Structures are given as structure tokens and as C-alpha cells.
């Protein structure tokens, strides 16, 4: 009888571990939304559409296509997993860049105020470094509703001296609801489809 109880206890423990693992995976899918067919449209005329998965250089990725006034202008190749959200490359104007190593866009969830991360990739002729920090939790109003958003300050630097600064207002399960550019321009989410 003790042997059966021990086997049953082990089976229950394994089932709990499996359920916890699946809930973490589901939480990541919900936290950083990336289902096939999702779209985000902003008041700047940009729409982002998620598709995939697609194989890019032997890596299974989701593809985030950026459209301007309905015309595709670029693609980001994104991998979602235990290391968060990473980009393995991008394509624009007929040229595709592969990031080796991939750039970390977001660390594993959840994001918390004060969290920082840094990632650098080598493109041969130059390097790109992405520095990011969650600088606060802000209540913001957009055309699609009111949100408590995590304000993520993102600096992109290149070894050639170029630098950009962007504030992203990220809502878990929704995505980016507002961008504030380096010159102070505000870009709001105006439509989102599941």
C-alpha cells in the first residue's frame, strides 16, 4: 500500500509541475500577445500585423509586419520563449538583416518598475545596442480606452554613433498602446484586433 501511495503522490506532483509549466507558457503568450492575425493600428497611419510561425534561417519565428497607409514597409522576426521576446532579424527595402546574437526586446515576464535589460548584436559593419528600463506605471487615455501602462524607455545605439530614444507604453495582454518619440510626438493605438 505504501508503494501505491508513493507512486500516486509522485504522479500528482508531476501533474502539478506540468500544469505549472503550462500556465507559465500560457501566461507568456497572454503577457506578450503574439497570436497569428493580431493587428495593432496607430494614429500615425501604421498598422502592425502578426503572422506565422515562419522558418527564418532555421529558427521558428512570428513575423510582425509594419504597414504604412496599407503598404508593407518592414518585417521583424520575433521569437517568444523563456528568454522573453527576442528579434532574430528584420527586413526592409529589400534587405534582410540577421541579428547574431538576437536582440532582447522584452525580458521574461512580468515586467516590473525598475527592471532594466541590455542587448547587443553585431551586423559586421556595425553593432546595435538596445538599452531598456521600465521607468514607471502610468494611467493613460487612448482612443481605444484607458490603461495602466508600463512605461518602457528604450535607447537604441549603434557603433557608428547613431542614437534614438523611444518611450513605449506597454499593457500586458494588449501590447503597446502608445509610443512617444524622441521629439515628443505621441502615437496612440486606435484599433486592435485579436
* pLDDT tens-digit readout, 48-107: 999 999 999 899 999 999 999 999 999 999 999 988 999 999 999 999 999 999 999 999
Helix, strand and coil content of the chain, in percent to the nearest 5, comes to: 15, 60, 25
Residue 4, pLDDT score: 52
Q: Note whether 149 and 169 are within 8 A (CB).
A: yes
Cis peptide upstream of residue 170 (ω within 30 degrees of 0): no
pLDDT digits (tens, 9 = 90+) for 36-46: 999 999 999 99
Q: Which CATH number fits domain 32-193: 1.10.1060, 2.60.40, 2.40.360, 3.30.70?
A: 2.40.360
If you average pLDDT over every residue of the chain, what do you get? Answer: 87
Distance of CA 152 to the CA centre of its chain: 12
pLDDT band for 30, please (50, 70, 90 cuts): confident
Q: What sign for the dihedral angle of Cα 11, 13, 19, 25?
A: negative
Q: Higher confidence at residue 26 or residue 55?
A: 55
- In angstroms, the CA 133 to CA 116 distance is 4
Task: List the domain boundaries for the chain.
Answer: 1-31, 32-193
What the block records as the C-alpha cell of 181 is: 518619440
Q: Which of 10-19, 65-74, 146-155, 184-193 has the lowest mean pLDDT?
A: 10-19
Residue 3, pLDDT score: 53
Amino acid at each position: 500500500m505504501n508503494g501505491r501511495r508513493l507512486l500516486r503522490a509522485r504522479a500528482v506532483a508531476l501533474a502539478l509541475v506540468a500544469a505549472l509549466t503550462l500556465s507559465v507558457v500560457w501566461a507568456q503568450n497572454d503577457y506578450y500577445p503574439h497570436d497569428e492575425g493580431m493587428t495593432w493600428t496607430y494614429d500615425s497611419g501604421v498598422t502592425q500585423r502578426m503572422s506565422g510561425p515562419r522558418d527564418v534561417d532555421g529558427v521558428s519565428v512570428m513575423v510582425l509586419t509594419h504597414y504604412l497607409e496599407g503598404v508593407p514597409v518592414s518585417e521583424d522576426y520575433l521569437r517568444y520563449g523563456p528568454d522573453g521576446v527576442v528579434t532574430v532579424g528584420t527586413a526592409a527595402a529589400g534587405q534582410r538583416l540577421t541579428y547574431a546574437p538576437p536582440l532582447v526586446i522584452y525580458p521574461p515576464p512580468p515586467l516590473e518598475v525598475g527592471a532594466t535589460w541590455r542587448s547587443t548584436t553585431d551586423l559586421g559593419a556595425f553593432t546595435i545596442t538596445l538599452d531598456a528600463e521600465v521607468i514607471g506605471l502610468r494611467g493613460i487615455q487612448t482612443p481605444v480606452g484607458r490603461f495602466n501602462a508600463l512605461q518602457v524607455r528604450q535607447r537604441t545605439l549603434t557603433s557608428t554613433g547613431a542614437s534614438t530614444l523611444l518611450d513605449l507604453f506597454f499593457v500586458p495582454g494588449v501590447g503597446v498602446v502608445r509610443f512617444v518619440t524622441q521629439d515628443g510626438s505621441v502615437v496612440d493605438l486606435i484599433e486592435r484586433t485579436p
